[in-house]
Structure 1
Amino acid sequence: MQTYKTFIGGKWVETGKLLDVTEKYTGEVFAKVPLCDTSSVDLAVNSAQEAFDEFKKTPAYTRSQILQKAADLILKRKDEIATVICKEAGKAWKYSIGEVIRGYETFKFASCEAMRIHGETVPLDASVSGTNRVGYYIRVPMGVIAAITPFNFPLNLVAHKVAPAIASGNTIVLKPASTTPVTALILAEILQEAGLPE
């Protein structure tokens, strides 16, 4: 049985209380994960806000590289992740592998999109007063993203929140489903290895 810590501010932190994660086929506990309290959430949000001040300046190509490396690591660890999905979500192997492939694709797509996030110019000459004028807008990171994900796709629905947040220069605080948290913790390991700043 593996015991996990929670991932806050680029560090693995103990929260004190642990939650049992059961294998859906046998009912046996196969992992213990941190049960976060209010102080843990405050620490996560404050850490994400502090990190945002620097991360929002991260160039698109760097965010893209981090996401591509994460995609590659998901693929490299596909059997391990699929096994965890089978255990904690009770999915058949075929669907678990399919979800891992989809998670890989989601990170790959986000890697590409990181380099395509830009603004647009708008000609203003539809109005007489707009002759020889052009308006424009740019897209900028918003800040800390709060994400809560359900149990039924423990990798892919997490990926659909985490990858776009990173691609667009935001930081994120994720609360995965309490019945399927291990997959999200493995993804945190992958993102750390991929070079996501603290």
Structure 2
Amino acid sequence: MTTPYWVAGRTSTGTDVVEVRSPFDGGLAGRTTTATAEDVEAAVSAAAGARAACAALPAHVRAAALDSVSRRLAERTEEVAALITAESGKPLKWARLEVARAVSTFRWGAEEARRWSGSLQRLDTDPAATGRMALVRRVPRGPVLGIAPFNFPLNLVAHKVAPAIAAGAPIVVKPAPATPLTALLLGELLAETELPAGSWSVLPVPNEVAADLVRDPRLPVVSFTGSVPVGWSIREAAPRKHVTLELGGNAAAVVGPDQGDEESLAWAASRIATFAMYQAGQSCISVQRVFAHRDVAAALTDRVVEAVEKLTTGAPTDPATDVGPLIDEPAARRVETWVDEAVAAGARVLTGGVRDGATYPPTVLTDVPADAKVSCEEVFGPVVVLDAVDSLDEAFDRVNASRFGLQTGVFTRDLQVAFRAAQVLEVGGVVIGDVPSFRADQMPYGGVKDSGTGREGVRAAMEDLTEERVLVLTGIAV
């Protein structure tokens, strides 16, 4: 069976068949087709044509549609999770969690649609404006081009779609070429709603077509999640558009000197091991660098290695599997090359380090030079680098000595350290008592420096997709 794509809420099929295969064993996950040039034009034209209708859509209609998608995703959890696993190689346990997160993301979208009201501002604080009041509302900037990555083929599409619908903006979704099937299944659920024609499309297209969409003036907003070079090239190609970029990083965890008791060490080691390796490290907030105070570094290292070696690798369809393959063999070869380069420069492999096809084992490194790619670039693989530091100031300096700045985790019980970390760390978010990989889908999420610009999280994204419009009322008895 060939899965159709979605053009302005209706199914369509092209002639160029795309086979989507599992990165683990090459098994066929499904088929779809590349959207034709005619269908791409129809989708963009429909989005532009639906701009006014979507903006005027009553809040209860937007909320009902998002509630429906949330409910239907929950009902089809096992089917959707199995599809995520089949096309991305994500272990089933993590695929189920992704579905649960998307269920929540659409639910929060419904809640925010109901709360999206604007504010009143009295203007008579100045004598010249006596008798005047301002109604400040946010209105959609226009149709959105949402470009999603492969590592969360459902929830990162949800983070494009839910805020757009909640804010009243039409959206054209371009899923990742490696993982289009989950986004197309989401289209089935959107089609069950009462959203107006043209309010959404899901188009599997190659990247060169996406470049044309980026330049299309009928899509004045671009929301992109993906690689750094592509993200900034989008910004450069569309300087007059509103562009939001979530571009990843090399997230760090700092372990303070107050974490030397057994309970604290066990917690930190377990969390670092799990979230350095989950999804084969293919998360932009995967733990990549660890800076542990020298008082606890040796004990922490032993426990991290022990915890990593307990992780189960294997077939992603096995519910017991913790770590599956990377998205393809070239990705695994790149990780292998970076680790080998670090070892040649003096790094030591404490566990892992031997590739098998598209699978790279959970790997722990130490004594890694600061300029090695596995330390200063985004490895996007199951590799973590452990370093000892003499002070928290040194740790924070090491965190900041990066061109990225997405999130940082700080393991400490010291409130002063927590507030200092939030003040000095050059990142979009600081997580105290846990890894940088923690993300609540309703909170503002995004980075600084090469980690991008703008924020995800439903309400934060709605603000990015909209702009303020002021209505001044005159002759009002305030």
TM-score (norm 1): 0.93
Give the structure 2 partner of residue 54 of structure 1: 53
Return closer, same or farther for 1:51/1:135 CA change in 2, 3 Å cut-off. Answer: closer
Pairwise CA RMSD: 1.4
- What is the aligned partner in structure 1 of residue 173 from structure 2? 174
1:22-41 deviation per Cα after TM superposition (whole angstroms, max 9, x unaligned)? 11221122211121243332
SS across alignment from 1:195: coil
Larger radius of gyration: 2
Aligned AA (1:151) = F
> What are the superposed Cα offsets for residues 165-189 of structure 1, whole Å, 9 maximum, x if unpaired?
1111111100000101100000000
After TM superposition, what 4+ stretches of structure 1 lie above 3 angstroms from structure 2? none
Q: Tell me which residue corresponds to 2:195.
A: 196
What aligned pairs does 1:26-175 form with structure 2 within 5 A after superposition? Answer: 26-175=25-174
Whole-angstrom CA distance in 2 between matches of 1:142 and 1:48: 13
Write the distance in 1 (CA, Å) between the matches of 2:195 and 2:82: 25
TM-score (norm. length: structure 2): 0.40
Once residues 133 and 54 of structure 1 are traced to their aligned partners in structure 2, the CA distance between those partners, rounded to angstroms, is 30
Give me the whole-angstrom Cα distance separating, in 1, the residues matched to 2:111 and 2:98: 20
Q: Deviations over 1:59-102 (max 9, x none)?
A: 10011011101100000010000001111111111110000000
Q: Sequence identity of aligned pairs in percent?
A: 38
**Take 1:170 and 1:94, find their aligned partners in 2: how far apart are those partners?**
33
User: Which amino acid letter does the alignment assign opposite residue 144 of structure 1?
Assistant: P
Deviation, structure 1 residue 17: 1.2
1:92-147 deviations in Å (ceiling 9; x for gaps): 11110000000000000000111111211112233232233222222223321110
CA distance in structure 1 between the aligned counterparts of 2:166 and 2:4, rounded to whole angstroms: 26
Deviates more, 1:114-123 or 1:50-59: 50-59
- Aligned with 1:122: secondary structure? strand
More RCO (CA 8 Å, sep 6+) = 1
Task: Give the counterpart letter for 1:50 in structure 2.
Answer: G
Residue 153 of structure 1 aligns with an amino acid whose one-letter code is: F
Give 3-state SS (helix, strand or coil) of 2:100's partner. Answer: helix
How far, CA to CA, are the matches of 2:105 and 2:85 in structure 1? 20
**Residue 185 (1) aligns with residue 184 (2):** yes
Q: Which residue identity lines up with residue 88 of structure 1 in the other structure? A: E
1:20 deviates by 1.2
Which consecutive residues of structure 2, in runs of 5 or more, have no partner in the other structure? 198-478
Say whether the 8 Å CA contact 1:9–1:51 is kept in structure 2.
Answer: no
Q: What CA distance in whole angstroms lies between the structure 2 residues aligned with 1:158 and 1:183? A: 9
Give the counterpart letter for 2:68 in structure 1.
Answer: K
1:25 equivalenced with 2:15 (yes/no): no
- Which amino acid is the alignment partner of residue 122 of structure 1? Q
2:193 and 2:129 map into 1 onto residues whose CA distance is 47
User: Do structure 1's residue 7 and structure 2's residue 6 form an aligned pair?
Assistant: yes
Where 1:82 maps in the other structure, the secondary structure is: helix
Write the distance in 2 (CA, Å) between the matches of 1:136 and 1:19: 50
1:153 Cα deviation (Å)? 0.5
Superposition deviation, residue 149 in structure 1? 0.3
